[in-house]
A and B are shown apart, each in its own frame.
Chain A
């Protein structure tokens, strides 16, 4: 980092201060992570209260190294992602059309929304025992609970989004000669797209919360199960490996959705 940038330097004004800011905030970010790791390492080594029960970062690191070459570890990644994938995608495949239908048809909304309003406040995990009764295998009940986590979020967001479409857009489209099909595909759907993307973003987070807990309760594989098993088998560094892995997995999923979302709504880009 050099001297503070002047307002009108050669070539591209505005670009330099931005990079300068980004460098500085990146530096601060790294700094805080390093300090965090340092406190953690020293705290465990010198037996600070609370921290002394936790494996030090160095132990976690070597556990990570072992996990990296262990196919079972990647198997856990795989099974969590498959559950998320199934539950989340099913929730969208069913939830998006249903939400749009409920958002655009008053008849259908008044008929079905009350049921959703009643079921929505029930946390997905409270469904675990019931879904164990519904479904023949634990695998299915985990996917089902994951599905529920995203399903209600999707429905309610999309209903809200579709209902808040500005009447002027519909009027203008009708005046210009749109058919009902046009209204749906060219007006209602794009107007609801931002809400759909919000639903996806929130939904994927809820899905990870749910799947991890469900795996701890009822699973035989997956990142949540890995973390829980590590606790039960006293391999404490693996607990942290599991936690960090879940964090990374969640981050990757949200990042994918974020990129997809901004690709799908280019008009929302601020410039």
Chain B
């Protein structure tokens, strides 16, 4: 169990306590790729990432979730529409919005310590000792202090995800963008990571966008659940999840939880049927992903 995060009085959360936070908005964003044929990926997407809320974006794989993340992060520009952070238009990547990627993006040639301290080090914001102390504090927070001098190739999948989480956190981003960060982890580790993550968020909530394809993960984490349609993607529905915090896994069997799940699955199922009716290539994937869970409403 990831305990250190639950009790918050021993000064571990210096970084988190000062974390600034911002609201992001996406207005009528469209994005296509390619020339011939043109592939429409995002079609009139509008969305608000409320300040200090955990927004979870769910949709079928390949529907354009990563494209949206890339646009929010500023790696990619929309064809039309507007993206703002605290009212200011987004013009490119910045450390106020940090992405935790699907696959690990830890630098393989740096140790865990060097990876986590990378941001402040290149920006020369902190003295060497302060940075050292801060990095170790954060590593302790996620139980990696003994692995500070290991290279990513020597870490397990779950450890890499945690290292990446704190590599972003040390920069005190106003918005965290999580692009299916727990994908590919085994079920046990994934559950553990969800708990780490939700405690980290609950200790000091910042603006978070968490992208996933897992309905249980989505509802367990979310303040607001945003359901995306199949490609070309737009926002189908936003559900406010009013489960109490701190979240516990026992809630996954509660009545409210099952209600949310049924509502979400209904929409996702409709999306699947639409795609199926159009005879789309990805319809089969879509069906497969949701038929298991949609079977028992």
Mark A residues whose CB is within 8 Å of B. 166, 168-169, 171-179, 182, 186-187, 190-191, 193, 265-268, 270-271
Q: How far is the CA of A110 from the CA of B148 in the complex (A)?
A: 42
Top 9 A-B pairs, shortest CB-CB distance: A176-B119, A190-B109, A168-B105, A267-B151, A177-B123, A172-B105, A182-B122, A177-B95, A175-B93
Select B105's contact among A169, A178, A266, A268, beta carbons within 8 Å.
A169
Select B93's contact among A171, A265, A270, beta carbons within 8 Å.
A171
Cβ of A177 and Cβ of B119 under 8 Å apart?
Answer: yes
Residue B259 at the A interface, CB < 8 A? no
Cβ distance B115 to chain A, nearest Cβ, rounded Å: 9
Tell me which residues across on chain A come within 8 A of B118, comparing CB atoms.
173, 176, 186
Cβ of B153 and Cβ of A267 under 8 Å apart?
Answer: yes
Q: How far is the CA of A60 from the CA of B264 in the complex (A)?
A: 84
Cβ of A175 and Cβ of B99 under 8 Å apart?
Answer: yes
Residue B291 at the A interface, CB < 8 A? no
B104-132 interface code vs A (CB 8 A; 1 in, 0 out): 01011110000000110011000000000
Tell me which residues across on chain B come within 8 A of A168, comparing CB atoms.
101, 103, 105
Q: How far is the CA of A260 from the CA of B98 in the complex (A)?
A: 36
Select A176's contact among B98, B151, B152, beta carbons within 8 Å.
B98
Cβ distance B126 to chain A, nearest Cβ, rounded Å: 12
- Majority-rule SS of A interface residues: helix
Q: How far is the CA of A4 from the CA of B206 in the complex (A)?
A: 61
Cβ of A265 and Cβ of B99 under 8 Å apart?
Answer: no
Tell me which residues across on chain A come within 8 A of B123, comparing CB atoms.
176-177
Tell me which residues across on chain B come within 8 A of A266, comparing CB atoms.
151
Cβ of A172 and Cβ of B99 under 8 Å apart?
Answer: yes
Q: How far is the CA of A190 from the CA of B95 in the complex (A)?
A: 23
**14 residue pairs bridging A and B, Cβ less than 8 Å apart:** A166-B105, A168-B103, A171-B73, A171-B75, A172-B99, A172-B105, A173-B107, A177-B171, A182-B122, A186-B118, A186-B122, A267-B109, A267-B110, A267-B151
Cβ of A177 and Cβ of B122 under 8 Å apart?
Answer: yes
Tell me which residues across on chain B come within 8 A of A271, comparing CB atoms.
154
Give the A-B pair count, Cβ closer than 8 A.
62
Residue B94 at the A interface, CB < 8 A? yes
Residue among B109, B119, B123 with the most chain A CB within 10 A? B109
Tell me which residues across on chain B come within 8 A of A171, comparing CB atoms.
73, 75, 93, 99, 105
Nearest A residue to B104, CB-CB: A168
Q: How far is the CA of A125 from the CA of B97 in the complex (A)?
A: 56
Tell me which residues across on chain B come within 8 A of A176, comparing CB atoms.
95, 98, 118-119, 122-123, 167, 171
Q: How far is the CA of A176 from the CA of B153 in the complex (A)?
A: 21
Nearest B residue to A267, CB-CB: B151
Cβ distance A3 to chain B, nearest Cβ, rounded Å: 35
Tell me which residues across on chain A come within 8 A of B73, comparing CB atoms.
171, 175
B81-106 interface code vs A (CB 8 A; 1 in, 0 out): 00000000000011101110101010
Q: How far is the CA of A271 from the CA of B107 in the complex (A)?
A: 18
Cβ distance A265 to chain B, nearest Cβ, rounded Å: 7
Q: How far is the CA of A177 from the CA of B97 in the complex (A)?
A: 11
Q: How far is the CA of A242 from the CA of B151 in the complex (A)?
A: 45
Q: How far is the CA of A271 from the CA of B153 in the complex (A)?
A: 9
Q: How far is the CA of A172 from the CA of B177 in the complex (A)?
A: 12
Tell me which residues across on chain A come within 8 A of B103, comparing CB atoms.
168
Cβ of A172 and Cβ of B97 under 8 Å apart?
Answer: no
Nearest B residue to A190, CB-CB: B109
Q: How far is the CA of A179 from the CA of B94 in the complex (A)?
A: 12
Cβ distance B160 to chain A, nearest Cβ, rounded Å: 13
Q: How far is the CA of A176 from the CA of B105 in the complex (A)?
A: 12
Nearest A residue to B125, CB-CB: A177
Tell me which residues across on chain B come within 8 A of A182, comparing CB atoms.
122
Cβ of A175 and Cβ of B94 under 8 Å apart?
Answer: yes
Cβ distance A183 to chain B, nearest Cβ, rounded Å: 9
Tell me which residues across on chain A come within 8 A of B152, comparing CB atoms.
267
Q: How far is the CA of A99 from the CA of B152 in the complex (A)?
A: 27
Select B98's contact among A175, A187, A268, beta carbons within 8 Å.
A175
Nearest B residue to A264, CB-CB: B109
Q: How far is the CA of A182 from the CA of B153 in the complex (A)?
A: 23
Cβ distance A256 to chain B, nearest Cβ, rounded Å: 22
Given known A175-B73, A176-B122, contact A193–B93 (CB-CB < 8 A): no
Tell me which residues across on chain A come within 8 A of B171, comparing CB atoms.
176-177
Nearest B residue to A185, CB-CB: B122
Select B122's contact among A179, A191, A265, A267, beta carbons within 8 Å.
A179
Given known A174-B93, A176-B98, A267-B153, contact A187–B107 (CB-CB < 8 A): yes
Select A267's contact among B75, B98, B108, beta carbons within 8 Å.
B108
Tell me which residues across on chain A come within 8 A of B154, comparing CB atoms.
271
Cβ of B105 and Cβ of A265 under 8 Å apart?
Answer: no
Q: How far is the CA of A186 from the CA of B123 in the complex (A)?
A: 13
Nearest B residue to A166, CB-CB: B105
Cβ of A265 and Cβ of B109 under 8 Å apart?
Answer: yes
Q: How far is the CA of A177 from the CA of B75 in the complex (A)?
A: 13
Cβ of A175 and Cβ of B107 under 8 Å apart?
Answer: no
Q: How far is the CA of A172 from the CA of B99 in the complex (A)?
A: 8
Q: How far is the CA of A271 from the CA of B155 in the complex (A)?
A: 11
Which residues 120-165 of B have a CB within 8 angstroms of A?
122-123, 151-154
Q: How far is the CA of A172 from the CA of B154 in the complex (A)?
A: 20
Cβ distance B168 to chain A, nearest Cβ, rounded Å: 8
